[in-house]
Amino acid sequence: MDDCHLKPPMLRSVVRDLLPDKKRPFPSPTDLLSVLSHVRAHGLLSEQQMGTTELKLVEDWRTAVDGWVEYIVSLASSKTPDKCWAGVCFLGLTCEACCSDRFESSYTIWFPHLLENIQSPSSTHIVKVACCSSLSDLFTRLSHFPNLKKDGTLYAGKLTQPILQLLNEDVGETICDAALSLLCTILSFFPSSMQRHYETIEAVITSKIMAAKSNLNTKKKFGNVLALLPKVKGNEDSWCLTLQKILIAINSILTDVFQGFEEEKKCAEIMKMIVPSGKIPPPPLGGETLPEEVYIPATRRLHDVLVPKLTTLMHCLCIMLTNPYPLRVVIPIHSLLATVRRVLQVDGSFNESLFLLTTSMHHELLCAELPALHVSSLDLLIAIIKSLRRQLLPHGINVARLLTEYSRRARLPSIRTKVYSIIHMLLISMGAGMSLYLAQEIVNSAFSDLNDYLALGNSSMLLNKQPSIIPSKTFQKNHRRKRKHASLMSLECHNADDISIKNGSNKQQTPLSVRIAALKALEALLTVGGSLNSKDWRPSVDFLVVTVATNACRAGWANEVSMSVPEDVSSSVADFQLAALEALLASLLSGTQARPPFLSQGLDLFHRGRQETGTKLAAFCAHALLSLEILIHPRALPLMYQLPQNPSFDEGICKKISTMAFNNDIKSNLLSIPKDDMGLLDVEEEELSNHCLDMDDEQISADDKHTETIKRSSKFSEDITRNSSAAIVECKNKMSQNVDAEMESLGRDEMSVDGERAEQSRSKSRISSCDVSDDKLDFERRSSPILAAETAPGKGDRPLGTRLNLAVEKGVSPNRSSYDLDSNWRKVKDVVLSYDSDFSSMDSLPDIVDGDPESE
């Protein structure tokens, strides 16, 4: 399938068997579409780069593509409309799929053929449509080559007059749409090519927008071109001027449409915002000369003329606000919000003082078109929020007040869905502060739209927004039975939902689209402001969310009922279930002062949803269970990984101790002392060792005096760990003096030892007190340090170096009066084995003290 050696023969077979010629009749459009998909799928025109060993394949492939290009160029030059149309279509495919080298060398040959077909009066409409599409492919591919930008601008300028001619002629919507798509492509990639025709293009586009002949979809495409037109000049003034012209045109039309439904000074106030006093008003949109049909009164053809104009111009503003622009521009936020507010405040009710200025027919026509105008205004508000984001914060209170007032009057499903989406976007973009203003309105609206799913017995309490919610007596009675919550919840919801359906079967239910939007708004509210002054509404919302999620999934998941309902309805049910579970997860994860009250019910729903393998519900439920893991098993983990405080005693520790060769891993737990201070400590150790060697005729046997000596020594050791390295040397001197004095006092009362024990004491007397662990010694429990000498075997009796390893163990108190190496080794071995023993209790392990020893 991927063998490059097969692609040249495949391309030749396509040209030989599937393309039309003199002997073979023209194939159907379906056959041509299959050829297009076949060439794209196999990459027959890609001419992939090969190594030097594949020169034969490269040449073969190049020859096959040359034959393809030659054949389709001949078809594009044919006088037969069908063959010409097929050749133009395949030429657009070649511009899109050929290799870069071939495109750079051949686009100058292909462009004249396409330009000739679009300019020729004899070309049919289908050929012109194909030419516009192929030219769009050519300029799109040409924009990928920065070195060809000059040629692209030159070629695009040659198409200005043919495109404007197609737009001015009454050639049908199909050709008009194709010409507009080509014009948008040129304005996006080569805008400077249209600079000489800026005013002409603006006048043509504006006349088509204001005309009554085009449908709404075509008008919106004209609006896309008008929104891209400021890129032709590419400066800030052109963008602001175009936006100003469109705002003036919108408010001028609104004055005619809303006559008798608003105060007359409303338009004047907004015009002052658009054009401040002292500024020169800009020329009208499209120039001074416009068709007379622009000034059609509002009482005539409201549905066909004025409302499509307003919708198109507002759509144009949305494109200008959301599409990127090469320069930083100033957005007139006051005039934009005033225009949105002006439309949303008109609800079709009469103003008694202005009742005589309108007619009943105009009233009926306007009330029929108000929903479309309101949706367009809400789309403009969405574009404002998207473009400004957090820069809208100074105007956030005005937007919140506008949405709060309008949501109380909105009743149509499409409008309520749009309002919920704006609230969701506003909460996410502007943060928790906005939730303080919108929280109560969101809760009220959500309860109103989700009232059908309040199936539990105490739904009336929820509607009253009580601060404390007790779902039912069953829940209160079995509150301590944790394992019964999920089953009780399902049973209670099932019974109460049946009752609610029986009682409210005649009541019109809220559409699924509105319910989904309401749940998404609640999710955003819980995510952003769930822990910010939410005591008044949080219990009600938590219970509402878990009730809706339980009832939405009670009848089965969407894939279980998809066989009995239409496809679009099934997808809506799946979206509703997913939205309910998303809101439930936000409720469980949103910060509160107590444990989530419905955690068990949520876990049950997520566990059941995860079993629906291969669906969005299953993927989200798996993610939800992972997010809720911290609530199921709460723990406080450290901010970073820390190495263990005590060395690990493995099975080979006895061998290491016997050879007195300690592992370097132990050094990571010992006190860190600079090298300079370590030299001072070595001098002090040598003096202490020499002093102890001179006492080989004395014996230390008094246990009580020995314990007191160890206490004093440990006190100085703790001072060493807390003070700086200079203080360590001073404390070591004091400890040495105290030990000397204690040795002399003990020597007066004891008998001298024989020569054998004196010789043994010499091999054990050198002590290094610099390696001190930060473990604390409990001397009240007779705990003491264990002295482990590090000797080099075979080097005589005098030790080469020693280390002091402090290990705490209950009940271990070695007697220092005996310096027998065998007895000392047995004590060390017993302590080490007690750590390795599987039967040792946790009480026997030393306490681990976190922190830096030097910080104390």
CA distance 513 to 250: 30
- What's the mean pLDDT in 768-775? 39
Shortest CA distance to 378 belongs to which of 426, 330, 332? 426
CA distance 239 to 244: 9
Task: List phi, psi (to 5°) of 803.
Answer: -135, 145
Look up residue 438 and give its two tokens: 């919108």
Report the b/e string of 518-551 with b at 16+ CB within 10 A.
bbbbbbbbbbbbbeeebeebbbbbbbbbbbbbbb
Shortest CA distance to 824 belongs to which of 690, 657, 661? 657
> Do residues 294 and 307 lie in contact, with contact meaning Cβ atoms separated by under 8 Å?
no
Highest mean pLDDT among 347-356, 424-433, 465-474, 680-689: 424-433
What is the predicted pLDDT for the residue at 119?
92
Asked if pLDDT for residue 814 goes beyond 50, the answer is no
Q: DSSP 3-state assignment of 838? A: coil
Higher pLDDT: 19 or 1? It is 19
Average pLDDT, the chain: 74
- What's the mean pLDDT in 624-640? 80
Shortest CA distance to 460 belongs to which of 546, 501, 469? 469
First to last CA, the chain: 72
Q: DSSP 3-state assignment of 562? A: coil
Rounded to whole angstroms, the maximal C-alpha distance in the chain is: 133
CA distance 526 to 545: 11
Please state, as a whole number, how many other Cβ atoms lie within 10 Å of the Cβ of residue 787: 18
- Contacts of 749-758 spanning 24+ positions with Cβ under 8 A: 749/702, 750/698, 750/699, 750/700, 750/701, 750/702, 751/699, 752/697, 752/698, 752/699, 753/696, 753/697, 753/698, 753/699, 757/699, 757/819, 758/696, 758/697
The model's confidence at residue 298, banded by pLDDT at 50, 70 and 90, is: low
Higher pLDDT: 750 or 808? It is 750
CA distance 420 to 803: 73
The amino acid that residue 48 corresponds to is Q
Asked if pLDDT for residue 588 goes beyond 80, the answer is yes
Across the strands, what pairs with 788? 803
CA distance 220 to 809: 84
Report in angstroms the alpha-carbon separations of 531 from 403, 527, 594, 831: 23, 9, 11, 53
Look up residue 519 and give its two tokens: 């749940």
Asked if pLDDT for residue 290 goes beyond 60, the answer is no
- What's the mean pLDDT in 651-680? 44
Higher pLDDT: 762 or 579? It is 579
- What's the mean pLDDT in 794-804? 39
Q: DSSP 3-state assignment of 803? A: strand
Report the b/e string of 657-687 with b at 16+ CB within 10 A.
beebebeeebeebbbebeeebeebbeebbee
Please state, as a whole number, how many other Cβ atoms lie within 10 Å of the Cβ of residue 72: 23
Highest mean pLDDT among 172-186, 205-219, 448-462, 687-701: 172-186
What percentage of the chain reaches a pLDDT higher than 70?
63
CA distance 743 to 755: 18
DSSP 8-state class, residue 302: I
> What tens digit of pLDDT does each residue of 371-383 get?
999 999 999 999 9
Q: Which helix (H) or strand (E) element contains residue 789?
A: strand 786-790
Task: List phi, psi (to 5°) of 81.
Answer: -60, -40
The model's confidence at residue 668, banded by pLDDT at 50, 70 and 90, is: very low
Asked if pLDDT for residue 794 goes beyond 50, the answer is no
Q: DSSP 3-state assignment of 259? A: strand
DSSP 8-state class, residue 300: S
Q: Which stretch of 13-27, 189-203, 371-385 has the lowest confidence by average pLDDT?
A: 13-27
CA distance 753 to 696: 8
Higher pLDDT: 712 or 702? It is 712
> What tens digit of pLDDT does each residue of 153-184 get?
999 999 999 999 999 887 788 999 999 999 99
Q: Which stretch of 26-35, 66-75, 259-268, 471-480 has the lowest confidence by average pLDDT?
A: 471-480
What is the predicted pLDDT for the residue at 691?
53
DSSP 8-state class, residue 619: H
The model's confidence at residue 213, banded by pLDDT at 50, 70 and 90, is: confident
CA distance 626 to 635: 15
What is the predicted pLDDT for the residue at 768?
38
Query: For the packed helices 432-449 and 538-552, what is the interaxial angle rounded to 10 degrees?
Result: 50
Shortest CA distance to 573 belongs to which of 550, 585, 587, 556? 556
Higher pLDDT: 332 or 794? It is 332
> Do residues 201 and 287 lie in contact, with contact meaning Cβ atoms separated by under 8 Å?
no
The model's confidence at residue 352, banded by pLDDT at 50, 70 and 90, is: low
What is the predicted pLDDT for the residue at 338?
96
CA distance 503 to 347: 33
- What's the mean pLDDT in 526-538? 87
In the block, residue with structure tokens 């955003």: 524
CA distance 219 to 312: 6
Higher pLDDT: 541 or 292? It is 541
The amino acid that residue 847 corresponds to is D
Please state, as a whole number, how many other Cβ atoms lie within 10 Å of the Cβ of residue 811: 10
In the block, residue with structure tokens 């909105």: 410
CA distance 640 to 737: 43
Higher pLDDT: 467 or 578? It is 578
Q: What is the CA radius of gyration of the chain?
A: 43
Shortest CA distance to 312 belongs to which of 417, 384, 240, 206? 206
Instruction: Tell me the pTM.
Output: 0.70
Q: Regarding beta strands 786-790 and 801-805, do their DSSP bridges make them parallel or antiparallel, or are they unpaired? A: antiparallel
In the block, residue with structure tokens 């071109």: 225
Tell me, letter by letter, the H, E, C secondary structure of 442-466: HHHHHHHHCHHHCCCCCHHHHHCCC
What is the predicted pLDDT for the residue at 253?
92
- What's the mean pLDDT in 4-14? 91
Look up residue 817 and give its two tokens: 């009066």
Alpha helices in 723-777, H assignment, sequence order:
725-749, 755-762
Instruction: Classify residue 579 as exposed, middle or buried by CB count within 10 Å of its CB (0-12, 13-18, 19+).
Output: buried
Higher pLDDT: 669 or 106? It is 106
What is the predicted pLDDT for the residue at 143?
94
CA distance 660 to 671: 20
- What's the mean pLDDT in 55-59? 88
- What's the mean pLDDT in 39-58? 83
Shortest CA distance to 785 belongs to which of 827, 817, 744, 834? 827
CA distance 78 to 771: 96
CA distance 426 to 390: 9
Please state, as a whole number, how many other Cβ atoms lie within 10 Å of the Cβ of residue 178: 23
What is the predicted pLDDT for the residue at 53?
66
Please state, as a whole number, how many other Cβ atoms lie within 10 Å of the Cβ of residue 201: 20
Look up residue 54 and give its two tokens: 């594949």
Look up residue 486 and give its two tokens: 């999920």
Query: Taking CA 768 as the corner, what is the angle to CA 678 and CA 721, rounded to the nearest 5 degrees?
Result: 65
> Do residues 146 and 107 lie in contact, with contact meaning Cβ atoms separated by under 8 Å?
no
Look up residue 688 and give its two tokens: 């202490």
Shortest CA distance to 509 belongs to which of 571, 446, 456, 450? 450
Q: For 789, what's the count of Cα atoms within 13 Å in the CB-facing half-sphere?
A: 21
